[in-house]
Structure 1
Amino acid sequence: MNRRYSEEQIRTYLAEAASGVPVRELCARYGFSDASFYGWRARYGQPGQGDAREGRKLRELQEENTRLKSMLADALLKLELLRNRTGRNGSGKDR
């Protein structure tokens, strides 16, 4: 971990560069080298880049959750139908 700059500061610098501020200007303003900047960018990625991946992953998980809930509802319905067909109510009293 970089001791001189916090992760929050680094992400701020990366966001400034993404908004159009030249890298050389950022280097001069904040006192780091362009090699440091490009290393940070490789390590932390472009601002907003992770958001798209996380959003996609969240949608995939939500879709899977919906599918699993549907499967559970179907299984519970089948179980209820089997109980009604056999005359058992699942309480264990009719054994």
Structure 2
Amino acid sequence: MKKHYTEEQIIKEHEAGAKVDDICRNLGISTGTFYNWRSKYVGLEVNEAKLLRELEAKNNKLKRLLADKLLEVEAMKDVLSKMW
């Protein structure tokens, strides 16, 4: 089973001066993956990265809820159009 590291843990490791190659080896990721991750979180403090992750999760939940409601509305329109 792969270990899952949070953005906060990776930021702390990187800020502590760990080399990118060492971080990638420990996490089992490629350097390309690390740099893609870093481009997203560059300049963020640990608490900001955590907040960003929480906001993204909340945004995804809201998008799913909206999609469900839109499907319900379409279904209701279908039913109503057949009744009249």
What's the TM-score, normalizing by structure 2?
Answer: 0.43
More contact order relative to length (CA 8 Å, sep ≥ 6): 2
When Rg is computed on C-alpha atoms for both structures, the one with the higher figure is 1
What's the TM-score, normalizing by structure 1?
Answer: 0.39
